[in-house]
Each structure stands twice: as structure tokens, then as C-alpha cells.
Amino acid sequence: MAVSKRKQEVKTLGNDTKKVKLSKESGKGFSNQKKMRKNLVEDSDDDEGEEEYQGGSDIEMEDVEEAGFKGTAPSKGNAQNNNVNGGNTNSNKSRESHAAQKKLANERKFAKPNADVIHRSKKIWERLRRKSHVPLDERKQLTDELFTIITGRVKELVFKHDASRVIQTAVKYGSSERRQDIAKELKGEYVQLAESAYGKYLVVKLMHYGNTKTREMIIGEFYGHVRRMVKHKEACYVVDDAFREYATPKQKASLIREFYGVEYAIFKDDSKNASLKSLLEENPEKRPLIMKSLFELINQMVEKNMSVLQILHKAMLEYILNVRPETSEAADLIELIKEHLGNIAFSKDGAQVIMRCFAWGSAKDRKVMLKNLKPSIQELYADEHGHMVLLAIFDVVDDTVLVSKTVFPEIQAKLDEGSAATHAIARIPLLYPLLGRETKLMHPQKIELLAEIDTIRAQTSKKDPKIRQQELRKALSPALLKSVVTNVADLATIPLGCQFASEVIIFAEGDKAATAEAIAALAEGEDALENKDLGRMLKNLVQEGFFNNKTQKIQLSDPPVEFYKYLMPKIEQNLAAWATGGNSYLIATLLESERVPENERMKIKKILSGKSEQAAIKSAKQGGNKGTDLISNLLKGKK
């Protein structure tokens, strides 16, 4: 920071330099954690603190004060007197005084240990960190020069705020061997570095750019200190980054194990890297102590507003996976985290924690959690992990009216935009009340996870699951049907969109006439004849169902949609073109479907039996159109 800025700060606050330092620290903490949860590798890039160093002296605050910048600014009256009585003289004296003070401050700065090293390395750093492109040869030369200066002095430099950034840049642009040299030089210091406001960035950069051995060395030094580090305002993010991005499954187990108590923080036997469930089964007499220790640490971290940390989510999951129905363990966790659901629900482990909290919770708990989760619903339903929370809510909350009023309006806002229907994740909670746990809708692993929730639901929910799903389907159907009508043209251009429209019109409840008419109208365009996705959608709607792998039958809509009534007027004048084109299977389905009355089938057969139509069908058969071949056999009474 330039001297003039420092001078203004001191004049404003007087001689109390502590106030200046405190003002710099104000606003820190964890009040805005989602912004702070950006990857520490990015947060520590070289532009951080750029304003402090651009063209300015790096004089420390105490240097400036000792150099003579004391007292308060002159009063207005004094300033006027100075201007009248020899203002030029005072101005010259001020410049001379300023120059003397600056000289003294620089002398003090260069009298400090490693001042020359820091000065030279920062000169290189200023060139190396430029945002504009630095040629590869020049970057290599600068990096080599920088390593020549800092090698052997890394420990002495790394805890200084300006020199720390120099080391970070060296790690970023150095070779693998040189990165490893820095890592080895810092061996034994990683816990202290992680707890440093400046050193923490270097630790994360070493894990990011380093190799497996470097990461193993760094994470290995955390063992035995995890309980303290996860409660530390700086180190908690380093441990979480290590856990989330760089640790192996075995290392993750070792880090989490320390949450179970001090005994497990100092126990180094790798064979003990078992889950909490296995640990409790092997030592049932220690269960109360372990569960208490785990909950207390979770509680301390939540109270420090660290609920965004994924290592904490994993600890919470281990806890709730092992709660007992006859205890208050689940209720205690629900009470603790109910105000923090939005910070927890977006990680893989965190989503499972919230799912199980809803399953274990009372009706009152569920109502409170739904209310607290409402601001996050529009983000949850399209999130890789968060959408599972909504599915669990649909499965366990008996008050479907509450769910309809809390969740569905938030989803409908996104439905109206049209993109939700074609989003690979967002479409799952939209269609779940209609289709249930179909493998075509979600991965089998997700179905297994929901089945685990069922075992808890059996103890806590009263409503029949089929009735619950029916009530949710009825509540959501109008919004889904309206969405298809509004966005039908866009949906027809995307495979997922066509599939979404088909499933909505077949399985939704309510008046489907407007939706069926809007979809059928798409068949009037000439490009519809060769639009494979549209043809597949129309075919599914004609047969009014999808093949069910479990029953090995077509799952039909109930009640019938009678889609043929809307489709036939649109294609009747062009039947031969449909029968011989890329979507010929649509006509074959009209001739086969049990949902199409016999008189309609006869009408189609009569039209296609004309001389010109038969000639076109024969030509298409010879051209290898299998759909047309099937139509020909159906016209002859064959299958």
C-alpha cells in the first residue's frame, strides 16, 4: 500500500495502530461461506492482494508510525494560517520531511532478516505473475532465477504475507522436481502453515500441483491434529480441500476417524480405518462415548458456521447412519442443523444427511425443515446431489398439501422457462411423482438409496406411499401439462424434451386435451416426416404407454388419452408419405395399437390400399424401409 494511504489511515485513527490492524480483520469469519468456499487454489492466485503491491512500497504499518506519521490531521484554521504565512516554505519542509521519513522507513525495512531476498524475489515475481502472456522461455528463465534465490530459505519466507505469494508462484510455474523440493523443505510445518492466514494458500497449491507423494506427506502431517484444525478459522478450509479434492479413500477414512474421539486421533493403526458402523460393532461398550464425541465436534463446527465443509457433511452422515430409534440422537442432529440445510444439501454426503433427517423427523420437524429449505429449492432440483433431497421429501412427508405449496411453486417457476424439462437432472424431480422409481428416470444406485430411506419411513410416516404419490401427482400435473403446451416447439427438437412431453401426457392427471392438440399440431410440418425424435414421441403417444422392464409389458395410461383423435386430422392427407418415410413406424403403431379403435384402423388401411399408395409402399420396401415392410404385412393381415 502506498505511503500516502498508510498516512491517511494513521491520521484518521490516531496513534493506535492496533485499530488499523483490527479494521483489516473486520468482516472476516464465516458469514458469507458460499463465496469463501471457492477452491483455495483460485483464491490464492497471484492477483490476491494486488492493490496492496501495485507500484507501492511494502513498508509495514509499524515502520510508517515509527518514521513519524503520528498525531491527527491539522485543523481547517491552522491550514488557512499556513497558507497565509509562508505556505511555500511549509510545503518544502513537508516534502523534505516526507523524503526523510520514507528513507528511514526503507532503511528499517532492509534491516529486517531476509529483506534483500524478499526484495529480489518480489522483483521477479512482479514479472512472472503478469496477467498478459509471458513467453515460455522467459517464464522458465524467471522461474529458474526465482528458485535460485528462494531455495533453502522457503521456511523463513513462507509465513510472510508478501513472500508467501512468491513461493506460491514458484510452485505454480516450477517443475515437478522443484515443487517436490519445496514440499520437502517445508516438511514438519504443514499444520502451522494451514493455520496461517497466508501459508494456507501454499499448502493447497502444493496439494494441487504436487504429486501423490507430496499430497501423502502433507495429509500425513494432519493426522493427530484434525480435531483442532477443523475448528480453526483458516485450517478448516485446508483440511476440507484435502478431504474433498486430494485424499484417497483410505486417507479420508483416517481424517474422519479423528472425529470419533481423541483416542482415534492418536491411534496410527491403518487397519482401524473402518467405518463408524464397524467400529461400534467391534466396541459396543464405547458407543455412548464415541457418539457423544462425534456429536460434540459436529456441534462445535456448526456453531462456528462451518456447515459448508464437506468433511463435516461426511461426519454428519456417519453419525446419522448409526443413530438408534430409541434414542434422541436423530432429533438432536435435526435440531442442530435445521437452520443450515441450504449449506449442507448440495454435497453427496450432505444430501444423504438431509434425506435421513427428513425420514427420521417428526411432522413438526419436517415442516420447519421444509420452510428453511425453501430458498434453496430452485437450485436443489437441478443439482447433481441436491435433487435427491426433493425425492426424499416426496417420499416421506405425509402432508402433501404442505409439499405442494412449498416445493411445487418453486419448481413451476423454472418449468415456465422451458429448460428444466430437458435438463438431465432437473427432469428427475419433475417426473418422479408421475413415474416413481423407474430406471429410465434415474440410476439404480439412486433407487437403492431411496429404498434405504423407506426402512426409516416405515417407522416415522403414516400415509400409504401410493396415496402420497397419487396426491403429489395430482397437485403437480396441471403445471406439467401447461409447461408442455407452452414449450412444445422447443421440446420437440431435443430427445429429452420429446421424452418429457410423452411421459407428462401419458402419466399426468387432469384435462390433457390442450396438451394433446399442441403435440399433434407438430405433425403438420414437412420436417416432421424425418424428425426421428418427434416420430418416436408420436408413436409412444399413439400406443399410450412405455415398455416396462419389470412387467415385460407396455405400461398404459389410465384413463386413456385417445391421442389418435388429435393426430389423425393432422396426418390423414399425408398418410402415404408418413408410411414410407423415416417415421413409418408411427403408422404401423396406429395399425397395431389396442388404443386405436377398429374403425380408425380400417380407415387407415383403406387410404393406404390405393394404387399410388401401394406403389409408394412397394418402392419403400425395396429401399429397405423396415417400418414400411411392417405396414405392408399389416395391410395384408399379417404381423
pLDDT digits (tens, 9 = 90+) for 503-553: 999 999 999 999 999 999 999 977 888 899 999 999 999 998 887 777 777
Residue 171 makes CB contacts below 8 A (sequence gap 6+) with 179, 182, 202, 205, 206, 209, 210
Q: Which of 51, 77, 112 delimits the end of a domain?
A: 112
What is the β-pairing status of strands 553-556 and 545-548? antiparallel
Total residues belonging to the chain: 639
Q: Does a structural domain hold residue 500?
A: yes
Mean pLDDT of 68-84: 44
What total number of domains does the chain contain?
3
Determine the pLDDT at residue 48: 41
The answer on pLDDT for 569 being more than 90 is yes
Q: Which of 76, 91, 112 delimits the end of a domain?
A: 112
Q: Which amino acid is at 291?
A: M
Looking at the structure, tell me whether residues 362 and 435 fall in a common domain.
Answer: yes
Question: pLDDT tens-digit profile of 151-169?
Answer: 888 888 888 877 888 999 8
Lowest mean pLDDT among 321-335, 550-564, 618-632: 550-564
Instruction: Report how far residue 293's alpha carbon sits from residue 258's, in angstroms, rounded to the nearest whole number.
Output: 10
Looking at the structure, tell me whether residues 341 and 464 fall in a common domain.
Answer: yes
Determine the pLDDT at residue 112: 57
Looking at the structure, tell me whether residues 491 and 395 fall in a common domain.
Answer: yes
Instruction: Report how far residue 172's alpha carbon sits from residue 139's, in angstroms, rounded to the nearest whole number.
Output: 11
Instruction: Report how far residue 218's alpha carbon sits from residue 229's, in angstroms, rounded to the nearest whole number.
Output: 14
Looking at the structure, tell me whether residues 499 and 534 fall in a common domain.
Answer: no
The answer on pLDDT for 108 being more than 70 is no
Number of alpha helices (DSSP H) and beta strands (DSSP E) in the chain:
43, 2
pTM over 0.85: no
Q: Which of 475, 510, 545 delimits the end of a domain?
A: 510
The answer on pLDDT for 15 being more than 60 is no
The answer on pLDDT for 449 being more than 50 is yes
Confidence class for position 36, pLDDT limits 50, 70, 90? very low
The answer on pLDDT for 18 being more than 90 is no
Structure-model confidence comparison of residues 163 and 42, the more confident one: 163
Dihedral (C-alpha) 304, 295, 275, 33: value to the nearest 10 degrees?
A: -20
Determine the pLDDT at residue 34: 45
Lowest mean pLDDT among 157-161, 477-481, 561-565: 157-161
Looking at the structure, tell me whether residues 503 and 532 fall in a common domain.
Answer: no
Average pLDDT, the chain: 83
Q: Does a structural domain hold residue 629?
A: yes
Structure-model confidence comparison of residues 554 and 543, the more confident one: 543
Question: pLDDT tens-digit profile of 111-134?
Answer: 555 666 777 888 888 888 776 678
Q: Does a structural domain hold residue 607?
A: yes
Mean pLDDT of 91-103: 72
Confidence class for position 66, pLDDT limits 50, 70, 90? very low
Q: Are 587 and 575 in contact (CB under 8 A)?
A: yes
Confidence class for position 264, pLDDT limits 50, 70, 90? confident
Looking at the structure, tell me whether residues 621 and 497 fall in a common domain.
Answer: no
Domain extent, residue 475, equals: 333-510
Looking at the structure, tell me whether residues 476 and 341 fall in a common domain.
Answer: yes
The answer on pLDDT for 244 being more than 50 is yes
Looking at the structure, tell me whether residues 499 and 520 fall in a common domain.
Answer: no
Instruction: Report how far residue 315's alpha carbon sits from residue 230's, in angstroms, rounded to the nearest whole number.
Output: 12
- Quick one: CA dihedral 283, 286, 292, 294, positive or negative? negative
Determine the pLDDT at residue 77: 45
